[in-house]
Chains A and B, each alone.
Chain A
C-alpha cells in the first residue's frame, strides 16, 4: 500500500543521493540520522536479546 511504499522511499533517500533533495532540509535530516544512530546504539543495549522468543511470549487476554 501507498503508506508502506512511502517508508521505503524515505529509506532510499540517503543524504546526498538525490540532487532533488531540498537543500534546507538536508542538514537537519542528516543531523536526525546521526541522532537516530546514537539512539539505536543505546537501544541495542537494552532490547530483549532473544527478540523472537520475547515477541512470541507476549500473549495477552483481550480487554476493553
Chain B
C-alpha cells in the first residue's frame, strides 16, 4: 500500500515576447533552451537527445547492473547495430558528419536529470523520474526555476529577445498545451481494465486538481469560470493523439523501461498547477488508484473492493469532464452506466473508500506519505462539500476564484472583463515579482510543501532513487564527454576511443545513488567510468 511508484511530469510552458504577439514561438522557445545550455556549458559542445531509445526494440538491453532482467526476445539482431555482447556499455559507430543542429530541436539534459527542450512551439521541462508525489512536486518546482533562469538571462542580454513564460495550459483563443503525468504501471493490468477503472477518477479529480480558468468553451466564447484549464479540450475517452481529439487516457506506450514488466501510463487530462498541494495530490491520489487497480489484478480482497469501482463507470465520460469543470457548486450529478446519479465528490469518495478498503485488506502500516495523501484527500473531499472557501490554500481553482471573486465584488466586473482574464494568465507568470501566485505565496495565503532550499537543490541535483541519478550525475561530472542521452541511455564520446559507447539504463529503479554513487565517486573521468562499467 503506497503512493510510491516511478512517476514524472512534463510541462509545456506558454511563451510570449512582451509587446510582440506575432513573435515566432518556436524561435523564442529555442532561445529559452539555448540560453540555459550556453550558461551551463559556456560554449562546450552539448549532448544531443539520443533518439535511439524512442524505438523500444533498440532499448531491449539491460542496464549493466541488472543482468537478470534483459529480455532476450527484444535483443536486436540487426547487423548494423551491434547486439549487446555483454551487460556493459555498447559500442556505437561515430557519426562521420557533424550532427545537424536544428534550432527547433534545441535540447538540454540537465544535471538534475530533467530534459529541457522545444516541443512544438513551447519550451518544455520534463522532470526526472521520481518515486513519490512529494519529490514530483520538488522537481516540478525546480522546472519553474529553470524557466525563470532563462527568462532572466534573456532579459539581461540585449542581443536576445525578452521572453515571459507561463505555467498554464490555455491562451483563451483556442490553443492548449499540455502538462502530462507519467506513471509506471504493472504490465499485468490489461489496458482496457486500466482505462475503465481509472476514467471516472480522472473525470472527477478536477474538483481538487483543477487550476481554474476564466472563460468557457475552447476559445473562451462564453463568459464564466471553470475548474479546469484542460477540460474543454478533452474530446475522446481513449486515444493515441495528444494534439487533437485529446483523450482522457492516452495510449502512447513507450515505457522507456522493460515493456514486459511495465507500461508507462501517459495522462494528458491534467492541468499545470502552481499550488504545491494541488500537484502533490494530483499525483498522489492517482498513484493510489493505480495501486488499487494493480492490487485488484493480483486478486485477493482488493478484487472485491474493485467491484465498487467498476460500478462507477460513467454513461458519458467526455461530457462529464466538461460538466464537472463547469460546476462551481460541485453539486451536478453525473449519470452512471448503472443508472445511478452521483456528484463528482461522491465518485471521489467512492474511490477513497475503495483505496481504504484495499488498504485494510492488505494489512501492514502504510508509509508516512501515503497516510498524508489519504488524510488530505479525505479532508478536502469533506471540506469541498461543506465549505469550499476553506480549501483556497490547497486547491488552485479556489485560490484563483477567491481573487477573481474579490475583484468582481470590489470593482463590479462581469466575467468577460479583460482584467479577470489577465488575472488568470498572469497567475502563472514564472517571475515572482509578476506572477500572481507568487504574490499569494509572499502573503502566506497558500500552503507550501517543500522549502526554497529543497527546490534550489533540485534545480542542479537529481533524485537519488531512480536512474535520473546516473543521468544527472553523468552530465554533471562527465558532460564534456557525453554526446547524447535519453531517458534510458547515456552515450559517451571519449577521446581516442574507436566508437561511441552507449550505457543503457533500462530499469528506472537502477542507476540510483545506492547502485552507482560509489562507482561515480571512484571514476575521475568518463574513461575510468566506462572501464569500471565493463566497457
Q: Which residues of A contact B (CB under 8 A)?
A: 1-7, 10-11, 25, 28-29, 32-33, 35-40, 42-43, 46-48, 51-52, 54-64
Chain A contacts for B16, CB-based, 8 A = 57-58
B522 within 8 A of A: no
A58 CA to B180 CA, complexed, in Å: 22
Let me know if A3 and B403 touch, CB within 8 A. Answer: no
Q: With A36-B406, A54-B425 given, can you name 13 additional A-B contacts, CB distance below 8 Å?
A: A2-B327, A7-B225, A10-B405, A42-B443, A43-B423, A47-B422, A51-B419, A55-B172, A55-B418, A55-B425, A56-B418, A63-B119, A63-B122
Contact residue among A7, A39, A51, A64 (Cβ-Cβ distance under 8 Å from B242): A64
Would you give the 0/1 interface string for B155-175, flagging 1 where the beta carbon is closer than 8 Å to chain A? Answer: 000000000000000111111
B177 within 8 A of A: yes
A64 CA to B402 CA, complexed, in Å: 29
**A-B residue pairs in contact (CB < 8 Å), sample of 27:** A32-B389, A32-B402, A38-B443, A39-B439, A42-B443, A46-B434, A46-B436, A48-B422, A51-B422, A54-B426, A55-B172, A55-B418, A55-B425, A56-B418, A58-B425, A59-B21, A59-B173, A60-B14, A60-B170, A61-B122, A62-B120, A62-B175, A62-B176, A62-B177, A63-B176, A64-B119, A64-B120
Are A35 and B445 also in contact (CB < 8 A) when A47-B423, A61-B121 are?
A: yes
Chain A contacts for B403, CB-based, 8 A = 36, 39-40, 43
A30 CA to B180 CA, complexed, in Å: 38
Contact residue among B390, B422, B436 (Cβ-Cβ distance under 8 Å from A55): B422
Chain B contacts for A38, CB-based, 8 A = 443
- State the 10 A-B residue pairs at the shortest beta-carbon distance, nearest first: A63-B177, A3-B328, A61-B121, A6-B329, A36-B406, A51-B422, A57-B21, A64-B178, A60-B171, A64-B242
Q: Which residues of B contact A (CB under 8 A)?
A: 12, 14-16, 19, 21, 25-26, 119-122, 170-178, 180, 224-226, 242-243, 268, 326-329, 331-332, 387, 389-390, 392, 401-403, 405-410, 415, 418-419, 421-423, 425-426, 433-434, 436, 439-440, 442-443, 445
Contact residue among A2, A7, A55, A59 (Cβ-Cβ distance under 8 Å from B421): A55
Interface of A is mostly: helix
A57 CA to B331 CA, complexed, in Å: 36
Q: What total of A-B pairs shows CB separation below 8 Å?
A: 146
Are A63 and B12 also in contact (CB < 8 A) when A2-B332, A3-B327, A35-B445 are?
A: yes
Chain B contacts for A61, CB-based, 8 A = 25-26, 120-122, 175, 177
Contact residue among A1, A33, A47, A57 (Cβ-Cβ distance under 8 Å from B426): A47
Chain A contacts for B122, CB-based, 8 A = 60-61, 63
Chain B contacts for A55, CB-based, 8 A = 172, 418, 421-422, 425
A63 CA to B170 CA, complexed, in Å: 10
Chain A contacts for B176, CB-based, 8 A = 62-63
Interface of B is mostly: mixed
| B319 CB to nearest chain A CB (Å) | 14
Smallest CB-CB separation from B242: which chain A residue? Answer: A64
Contact residue among A29, A52, A59, A64 (Cβ-Cβ distance under 8 Å from B389): A29
Chain B contacts for A3, CB-based, 8 A = 224, 226, 326-329, 332
| A14 CB to nearest chain B CB (Å) | 9
A27 CA to B106 CA, complexed, in Å: 54
A25 CA to B387 CA, complexed, in Å: 9
A62 CA to B241 CA, complexed, in Å: 13
A62 CA to B329 CA, complexed, in Å: 30
Chain A contacts for B173, CB-based, 8 A = 58-60
A56 CA to B495 CA, complexed, in Å: 53
Chain A contacts for B327, CB-based, 8 A = 1-3
A36 CA to B403 CA, complexed, in Å: 6
Are A7 and B405 also in contact (CB < 8 A) when A46-B436, A47-B436, A60-B121 are?
A: yes
A10 CA to B328 CA, complexed, in Å: 11
| B157 CB to nearest chain A CB (Å) | 22
Chain B contacts for A62, CB-based, 8 A = 120, 174-177, 243
Let me know if B326 and A46 touch, CB within 8 A. Answer: no
Are A40 and B406 also in contact (CB < 8 A) when A55-B421, A63-B120 are?
A: yes
A47 CA to B329 CA, complexed, in Å: 28
| B327 CB to nearest chain A CB (Å) | 5
| A21 CB to nearest chain B CB (Å) | 12
| A2 CB to nearest chain B CB (Å) | 6
A11 CA to B408 CA, complexed, in Å: 9
Let me know if A46 and B433 touch, CB within 8 A. Answer: yes
Let me know if A7 and B410 touch, CB within 8 A. Answer: no
Are A52 and B418 also in contact (CB < 8 A) when A2-B332, A4-B328, A60-B25 are?
A: yes
